[in-house]
Amino acid sequence: MPVLLAMSSVFAAMGLSTLASHLLPSTDTTNSVILLIGLAVGVDYSLFYIRREREERAKGRGHLDAVEIAAETSGHAVVVSGIAVMIAMAGLFLATDVVFSSLAVGSILVVAVSVIGSLTVLPALLAKLGRWVDRPRVPLLWRLSARRAGAPRIWPALLRPALRRPVLALVISVGALLALAVPAAGMKMKFPGMEDLPRTTPAMQAYDRLTAAFPSTGTAHYLAVEAPAADAPRVKAALAALAREAGGDPLFAPVEADGPDIEQSADGTVSVLQVATPYHTRTDEARQSLDRLRDVYVPEAMSGLSNVDYAVGGDVAGSVDYAAHIKRKLPLVMAFVLILTFVVMVLTFRSVVVALTSILLNLLSVGAAYGLLVLVFQGTWAEGLLGFTSMGSIVTWLPLFLFVVLFGLSMDYHVFVVSRIREAVQRGVSNRDAVAYGITSSAGTVSSAAIVMVAVFSIFATLSTIDMKQLGIGLAAAILLDATIIRAVVLPSVMTLLGDANWWAPRFLRKRQPARHASQPERELVSVH
């Protein structure tokens, strides 16, 4: 059922994104991202709902009562989680990039459809099917899950160190994640070039045969100049002088015998000079040649002209400029996502502390994922293991996209787990036992959802293109870290240390909790000693 509901959300979102493409530009990668995000959140939300409904039926409730309780608890968590994911994906609009805007539209649509389906179609199906929702049973898996229907054993054992010695557990776990995040400080960003594309595809095999027959090295910069038509001869002379001067620089190729390659528009207002360099696009020398052209040769050549506009483009400039654009926009996107997520978490849990810890834990997870990407893909040690050739950098668009996706998806787990902890606290359970109950009671669902996510993301890691491989490895590793170290060690350690301070909020945010009805039975809590 979770897979069917997730796929229905994916197909619905693809249809809606087609309609949205009449208003906003769409790219050919939008449907791939819809599939990626849709499977992840669709399966997650369905699992949250179904596992809670099963849990309530196992306690003796009728199936309609179980569905109502699941709607009140897991349904609320799904709404909050969906809002958090959509806020994160909306941050892509601030990148002012057509591709990111297209991905934002597709992601927001599929999350919205998944949330609506989880609040309408899923509870209706559960109410209609009743106990038949567990039919047909997979014999071996059903026996294993039936054995676990009582008090869980594995997760209490895993939680015990964090609850008994929270300071030590916190220092070790956070220290390990920070150590993993340190390499991210040396992250380099570049666009993949022709040399980074897989040579097994027919297109690249044809390209290799063509370059073997007609050898060429290096790349070229393109200087475009716009000036009044009356100044066209002076512009052409200035460009020719620039080409000759650059030709004597070892960073550039010598000028051809028939003179520099200068083209002018029919009206004489636009002139384009091609300046060749013998170095490939992603080399340091190619970057140095671009800097020297922009900082030295072009300003000198244009200094004697008035009313001119000029710019240097080409493959090297495109890679450098886009990386600089992403670096400028990333802090803005991060601030937008962090602030709005903080507001949503404060309003949901009525706690400033819970909101702050949520953001800090997710930032820790994202930082560790960045560091892991740098370790794996900027070096060469993992080339044989993962089947790629290192380009010495991370694909330019990946850090920003990874941030919003990981931050949004990490909120899935966090909202679900903290919601269970708060349930116990509101029933008068001690903070330590509430943390143990919340994590152990949600561990099966979180683990199952994480396995599904990692499996989906790992598919991308098997693709031959370097950008998809980096995306798959980054997402899979981050979700794995988040569902294990963050949720099993860091979160319980922090919440145990903070105690009642977890639920602190200014007076205007506090609301009086309704008294529990006498007929409402207590939840069965799991204590870890």
Q: Quick one: tokens of 79? A: 């709404």
Is 50 or 222 the better-scoring residue by pLDDT? 222
Query: Is pLDDT above 80 for 213?
Result: no
Query: Is pLDDT above 60 for 523?
Result: no
For residue 222, the SS3 value is: strand
Query: Is pLDDT above 50 for 101?
Result: yes
Q: Which helix (H) or strand (E) holds 341?
A: helix 315-349
* Residue 255 pLDDT grade (very low, low, confident, very high; cuts 50, 70, 90): confident
Query: Is pLDDT above 90 for 173?
Result: yes
Confidence at residue 132, expressed as pLDDT on a 0 to 100 scale: 63
The owner of tokens 């022709």 is 194
Query: Is pLDDT above 70 for 515?
Result: no
Q: What is the mean pLDDT of residues 199-227?
A: 81
Whether 438 and 350 map to the same domain: the answer is yes
* Residue 154 pLDDT grade (very low, low, confident, very high; cuts 50, 70, 90): confident
Whether 41 and 125 map to the same domain: the answer is yes
Query: Is pLDDT above 60 for 98?
Result: yes
Q: What is the mean pLDDT of residues 170-196?
A: 89
**How confident is the prediction for the chain on average, in pLDDT?**
85
Q: Where are the beta strands (DSSP E) in 143-260?
A: 189-190, 219-226
Q: What is the mean pLDDT of residues 341-356?
A: 91
Q: What is the mean pLDDT of residues 173-188?
A: 94
d(CA 367, CA 369): 5
The answer to whether 259 and 240 are in contact (CB under 8 A) is yes
Closest by CA position to 482, among listed 337, 358, 353, 354: 358
Q: What is the mean pLDDT of residues 491-506?
A: 91
134-141 LR contacts (CB < 8 Å, sep 24+):
134/54
* Residue 141 pLDDT grade (very low, low, confident, very high; cuts 50, 70, 90): very low
Q: What is the mean pLDDT of residues 45-49?
A: 85
The CATH number for 519's domain is 1.20.1640.10
Picking from 319, 354, 383, the residue at the C-terminal end of a domain is: 319
Count of alpha carbons within 13 angstroms of residue 351, beta-carbon side = 21
Query: Is pLDDT above 50 for 520?
Result: no
* Residue 525 pLDDT grade (very low, low, confident, very high; cuts 50, 70, 90): very low
The CATH number for 264's domain is 3.30.70.100
What is the per-residue DSSP string for 399-424?
Answer: HHHHHHHHHHHHHHHHHHHHHHHHHH
Read off the pLDDT of residues 111-129 as tens digits, 9 standing for 90 and up. 999 999 988 988 888 888 7
d(CA 79, CA 76): 5
Confidence at residue 527, expressed as pLDDT on a 0 to 100 scale: 40
Query: Is pLDDT above 50 for 529?
Result: no
The answer to whether 220 and 275 are in contact (CB under 8 A) is yes
270 φ, ψ (degrees, to nearest 5): -125, 130
Confidence at residue 216, expressed as pLDDT on a 0 to 100 scale: 67
Whether 272 and 338 map to the same domain: the answer is no
Task: Report the number of distinct structural domains present in the chain.
Answer: 3
Whether 17 and 75 map to the same domain: the answer is yes
Query: Is pLDDT above 80 for 322?
Result: yes
Closest by CA position to 427, among listed 521, 506, 528, 358: 521
Confidence at residue 450, expressed as pLDDT on a 0 to 100 scale: 85
Closest by CA position to 40, among listed 455, 467, 344, 462: 455
Is 505 or 287 the better-scoring residue by pLDDT? 287
Whether 462 and 359 map to the same domain: the answer is yes
Exposed e or buried b per residue across 207-233, where buried means at least 16 C-beta atoms within 10 angstroms of its C-beta: eeeeeeeeeeebbbbbbebebeeebbe
Read off the pLDDT of residues 428-452 as tens digits, 9 standing for 90 and up. 889 899 999 888 888 878 888 888 8
Confidence at residue 122, expressed as pLDDT on a 0 to 100 scale: 86
Task: Give the domain range for residue 32.
Answer: 1-150
Amino acid at 350: R
The answer to whether 204 and 198 are in contact (CB under 8 A) is yes
Cis? peptide before 136, omega within 30° of 0: yes
Whether 351 and 440 map to the same domain: the answer is yes
For residue 100, the SS3 value is: helix
Whether 122 and 174 map to the same domain: the answer is no
236-245 LR contacts (CB < 8 Å, sep 24+):
236/262, 236/264, 236/271, 238/301, 238/302, 238/304, 238/305, 239/271, 239/273, 239/301, 241/301, 242/273, 242/275, 242/297, 242/298, 242/300, 242/301, 243/273, 243/275, 245/297
Picking from 110, 130, 150, the residue at the C-terminal end of a domain is: 150
What is the per-residue DSSP string for 24-68?
Answer: S---TTHHHHHHHHHHHHHHHHHHHHHHHHHHHHHTT--HHHHHH
Confidence at residue 461, expressed as pLDDT on a 0 to 100 scale: 81
Whether 359 and 504 map to the same domain: the answer is yes
The answer to whether 74 and 82 are in contact (CB under 8 A) is no
Q: What percent of the chain has pLDDT over 90?
A: 42
Query: Is pLDDT above 60 for 138?
Result: no
Query: Is pLDDT above 90 for 337?
Result: yes
The answer to whether 252 and 244 are in contact (CB under 8 A) is no
Read off the pLDDT of residues 449-498 as tens digits, 9 standing for 90 and up. 888 888 888 888 887 788 888 988 998 888 889 888 998 899 999 999 99
Q: What is the mean pLDDT of residues 289-315?
A: 92
Q: What is the mean pLDDT of residues 298-318?
A: 91
Amino acid at 414: H
Is 4 or 301 the better-scoring residue by pLDDT? 301
The owner of tokens 């995000």 is 37
Lowest mean pLDDT among 4-8, 262-266, 297-301, 326-330: 4-8
Distances (CA, A) of 132 to 108, 127, 128, 188, 192: 33, 10, 9, 54, 51
Exposed e or buried b per residue across 343-376, where buried means at least 16 C-beta atoms within 10 angstroms of its C-beta: ebbbebbbbbbbbebbbebbbbbbbbbbbbbbbb
Picking from 97, 123, 150, the residue at the C-terminal end of a domain is: 150
Cross-strand partners of 309: 226
Closest by CA position to 393, among listed 191, 125, 114: 191
432 φ, ψ (degrees, to nearest 5): -65, -45
Whether 128 and 224 map to the same domain: the answer is no
Q: What is the mean pLDDT of residues 346-367?
A: 91
* Residue 305 pLDDT grade (very low, low, confident, very high; cuts 50, 70, 90): confident
Whether 346 and 454 map to the same domain: the answer is yes
Q: What percent of the chain has pLDDT over 70?
A: 90
The owner of tokens 């949205």 is 20
Confidence at residue 152, expressed as pLDDT on a 0 to 100 scale: 61
Confidence at residue 401, expressed as pLDDT on a 0 to 100 scale: 92
Instruction: List all residues 6 or more positions away from 319 whose beta carbon is below 8 Å from its beta carbon.
Output: 190, 191, 281, 282, 396
Read off the pLDDT of residues 272-295 as tens digits, 9 standing for 90 and up. 999 999 998 878 899 999 999 999
Whether 195 and 295 map to the same domain: the answer is no
Whether 104 and 208 map to the same domain: the answer is no
Q: How many CB atoms lie within 10 A of CB 205?
A: 12
Query: Is pLDDT above 60 for 143?
Result: no
Query: Is pLDDT above 60 for 517?
Result: no
